[in-house]
C-alpha cells in the first residue's frame, strides 16, 4: 500500500535507507539489501510509558508496545534527497 509513496525502495532510486539500515547498506548501497532491510517487520521500535524501550528499557518500565518507524531517506534523482 505505501510502496508507491517511497516507503520501500525502488529499483529506480539511486539510494534508500531507513534508521534500521546496516552499515553495509549505507556504504555499499545495494537495492536487494535495501529491500530486505526495509521490510515492515524490521522497522519496529519499542516504546513504553516511561520512555524508550528496547536496549534502553529499564525493569520498571510499563505499558510497552511496538510501533512502526516509517522514516526513510531516498535519493530518487541524482542530487535530490527526501
Number of domains in the chain: 1
- Residue 17 included in any domain: yes
Selection from 65, 5, 70 nearest residue 40 by Cα? 70
The fraction of the chain above a pLDDT of 90, given in percent, is: 84
Rounded distance between C-alpha atoms, residue 25 and residue 45, angstroms: 20
- Residue 80 included in any domain: no
Confidence of residue 20 (pLDDT cuts 50, 70, 90): very high
- Residue 81 included in any domain: no
Kindly report, residue by residue over 21-52, the tens digit of the pLDDT. Answer: 999 999 999 999 999 999 999 999 999 999 88
**Domain assignment of residue 66, given as a range:** 3-75
Question: What Cα–Cα distance (Å) separates residue 44 from each residue in 13, 71, 74, 78?
Answer: 23, 11, 19, 29
Amino acid at each position: 500500500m505505501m510502496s508507491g509513496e517511497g516507503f520501500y525502495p525502488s529499483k529506480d532510486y539511486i539510494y534508500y535507507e531507513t534508521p534500521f539500515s546496516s552499515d553495509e547498506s549505507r556504504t555499499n548501497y545495494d537495492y536487494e539489501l535495501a529491500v530486505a532491510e526495509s521490510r515492515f517487520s524490521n522497522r519496529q521500535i519499542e516504546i513504553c510509558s516511561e520512555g524508550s524501550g528496547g536496549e534502553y528499557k529499564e525493569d520498571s518500565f510499563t505499558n510497552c508496545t511496538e510501533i512502526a518507524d516509517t522514516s526513510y531517506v531516498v535519493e530518487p534523482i541524482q542530487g535530490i534527497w527526501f
